[in-house]
């Protein structure tokens, strides 16, 4: 098992909790332990599945906790040292943000990485989590081995231009009901004002300049909604050698929920390729 390096007295401040269901709390990711990192006026939670291979930090989308990756995680490489960070106000991270932004979420991710001793890792996420991952790449490229974005829009214009803001195509009625029930549970403690405020942060951010300049390996994965695939220009993803664009057929915005094995295979392959390059193979 990989040891997590933590410095000074802060070791005592990181609380490690079993993943079993705790009275009054929602079910957690199976096979993970929650690491609670104190912050001003609250805490951030990062679920952890230890592994001896490369480290991958995943970030769920808007109004999602770590369970958003419940179907994906079992298909990710068993050797991965896998972390799932819950944004403020979600899961065991509390309280919700006062004036949330992608920039603040990225700073939170870097704060957690520092406290857990993560010095060289892959970062990825779904939707808002993918956008946060790109922002982390902008802020701290020296810490990253690669960035993975699962429908993490370069800007809100991409969602409009590429898919006419359609996030539900190819989802069944049963899947839509399941996702709606999950979202209702996750947001049970949020006020209407908090929901409205945080639900808009993705429209106040743009990652195009980062993608145009970064030398980091980037994997962008999108679902094609069962239609003709939009161009990179519509998605605002530059045509560059270090940026891969992968498609999941007949999938919606919730591609990791609909086709977890296929999405995981793309992530596993990307990480293997980058690790081989680092090893000079």
Q: Order across the sheet with 15-17: list the strands.
A: 15-17, 33-39, 42-49, 81-86, 55-59, 121-126, 144-150, 218-223, 243-248
pTM of the model: 0.90
Average pLDDT, the chain: 91
**Alpha-helix residue ranges (DSSP H) falling in the chain:** 102-115, 128-139, 156-163, 173-186, 192-198, 208-213, 232-235, 255-258, 260-278
Let me know: does 60 contact 87? Beta carbons within 8 Å: yes
Using an 8 Å Cβ cutoff, are 254 and 183 in contact? no
Give the whole-angstrom CA distance, residue 207 versus residue 132.
10
Instruction: List per-residue pLDDT tens for the chain, 281 residues long.
Output: 333 333 333 333 333 333 322 323 447 999 999 999 999 889 999 999 999 999 999 999 999 999 999 999 999 999 999 999 999 999 999 999 988 999 999 999 999 999 999 999 999 999 999 999 999 999 999 999 999 999 999 999 999 999 999 999 999 999 999 999 999 999 999 999 999 999 999 999 999 999 999 999 999 999 999 999 999 999 999 999 999 999 999 999 999 999 999 999 999 999 999 999 999 96
Are 161 and 237 a contacting pair, CB within 8 Å?
A: no
- CB count, 10 Å around CB of 132? 33
What does residue 30 show for φ and ψ, rounded to 5 degrees?
Answer: -70, 135
pLDDT reported for residue 5: 39
Length of the chain measured in residues = 281
55, 122, 257, 230: CA torsion to nearest 10: -160
C-alpha closest to that of 133 among 92, 169, 84: 84
User: pLDDT digits over 21-61, tens only?
Assistant: 232 344 799 999 999 999 988 999 999 999 999 999 999 99
**In 3D, which of 191, 28, 165, 44 has the Cα closest to residue 106?**
44
Q: What distance in Å separates the CA atoms of residue 82 and residue 64, rounded to the nearest whole number?
A: 18
């Amino acid at each position: 098992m990989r040891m997590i390096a933590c410095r000074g007295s802060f070791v005592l401040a990181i609380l490690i909790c079993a993943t079993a269901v705790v009275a009054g709390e929602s079910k957690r990711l199976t096979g993970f332990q929650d690491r609670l990192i104190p912050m001003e006026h609250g805490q951030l939670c990062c679920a952890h599945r230890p592994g001896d291979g490369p480290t991958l930090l995943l970030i769920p989308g808007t109004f999602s906790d770590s369970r958003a990756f419940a179907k994906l995680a079992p298909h990710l490489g068993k050797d991965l040292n896998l972390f799932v960070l819950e944004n403020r106000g979600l899961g065991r991270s509390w309280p919700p943000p006062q004036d949330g932004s992608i920039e603040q979420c990225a700073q939170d991710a870097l704060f957690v990485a520092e406290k857990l001793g993560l010095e060289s890792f892959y970062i990825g996420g779904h939707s808002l989590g993918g956008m946060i991952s790109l922002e982390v790449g902008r802020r701290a490229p020296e810490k990253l081995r690669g960035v993975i974005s699962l429908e993490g829009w370069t800007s809100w214009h991409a969602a409009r231009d590429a898919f006419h803001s359609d996030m539900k195509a190819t989802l069944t009625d049963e899947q839509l009901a399941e996702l709606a029930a999950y979202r209702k549970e996750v947001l049970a403690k949020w006020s209407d004002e908090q929901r409205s405020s945080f639900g808009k942060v993705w429209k106040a951010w743009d990652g195009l300049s980062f993608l145009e300049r970064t030398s980091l390996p980037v994997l962008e994965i999108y679902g094609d909604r069962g239609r003709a695939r939009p161009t990179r220009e519509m998605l605002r993803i530059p045509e560059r050698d270090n940026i891969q664009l992968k498609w999941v057929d007949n999938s919606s915005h919730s591609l990791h929920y609909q086709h977890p094995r296929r999405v995981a295979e793309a992530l596993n392959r990307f990480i293997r390729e980058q690790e081989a390059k680092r090893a000079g193979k």
